[in-house]
Amino acid sequence: MQRFKNILFVKSSVEYDQDTLKRAALLAQKNGAVLKVIKAIKHLPDDLTQALELVSVEEVEQQILKDEMENLEKWVKEVVDDSIEVDLEILVGEPFLEIIRSVMKNGHDMVVKTAEGTIGYKEKLLGSTDMHLVRKCPTPVWMIKPGPYREYKQVLAAVAPKRFDKPGDSLSDVIMQLSTSFSVREQSKLHVVHTWKMRGEAAIESRSTLALMYKTDVRNATDRVRIQHKQQLHELLERNPIDAVDHEVHLLKGNVVEEVPRLALEKEVDVIIMGTVGRTGIPGFFIGNNAEDILNQVNCSVLTVKPKGFQSPVTLDSLFT
């Protein structure tokens, strides 16, 4: 992962956050990268600010910032070796907005954070702030599943090559380059997965009369679609060789929302590297919501990548987004 030179680590309040910082620090050390550690806190509640009489809101906030910085400095020193230079900052405001604005202002090329998760009807890996970052942060976001530090043994790259992809410039190319570099550094096995399906096949098969009438035509058409996707995947791998790592390629027929989480579970994947794709003119929008549906199902670390040209709906001067 030699591509990242300006890494932003976001402190969370969950257990094992120090293990995540250790991973970010090692990445920065190996890449010769700048590492910045931030903590984002909200403004004082309105009811508290209105009740203050003897001191000003500014004085209280300054004291809170001072205390938070002292605690952050102490916390970082317990994890990061003195040989690694770390910048520290406390941000005040809506956390996800301030994090993204920090990325924009300081030119960070990667965000690393411990996933905070949600517990309810269905337990999910990513919390509210996490999902905002995955949706709207313009840089790659590495959400690490809480747990003791350990090496990643299984990496999954979820790609979707297209017939008219610009070689080396498509989202799938970016995912492959990142996944290969990641697997080399971690000495892990790389699983490359591409899913496909024949549109209209299920509708015909659900009607017995049509299925009997057009069985051969549907089979032939399905074979042609499979061959087309196989060729597109082959061309992607030709452009992005993976011979340097132990690997396995999976061309799966089915729904990507079902197949990627299933394969990740079956192969005991440690991290999924995948794209979050925005439509032109609709910043931060997930096409078909597939990416978000996958993220809501998996239970491993995820590294999400945006397509080139992605524009975040967050701006440096916006009050709300």
Domain that holds residue 74: 1-146
Q: How far apart are CA 224 and CA 231, in angstroms?
A: 11
Q: Residue 40's domain is classified under what CATH number?
A: 3.40.50.620
Residue 51 in any domain: the answer is yes
Task: Give the predicted TM-score (pTM) of the model.
Answer: 0.87
Residue 256 in any domain: the answer is no
What single letter denotes the amino acid at residue 79? V
For the chain, the domain total comes to: 1
What single letter denotes the amino acid at residue 35? L
For the chain (length 321 residues), average pLDDT per consecutive 10?
Answer: 85 93 93 94 61 59 86 95 90 93 95 84 82 92 94 95 78 93 92 86 53 61 88 95 96 94 97 77 52 90 89 75 45
**The pair of three-digit structure tokens given for residue 123, joined into one six-digit string:** 């337990």
Q: How far apart are CA 55 and CA 57, in angstroms?
A: 7
Residue 57 in any domain: the answer is yes
What single letter denotes the amino acid at residue 15? E
DSSP assignment letter at 36 = E
Residue 170 in any domain: the answer is no
Residue 179 in any domain: the answer is no
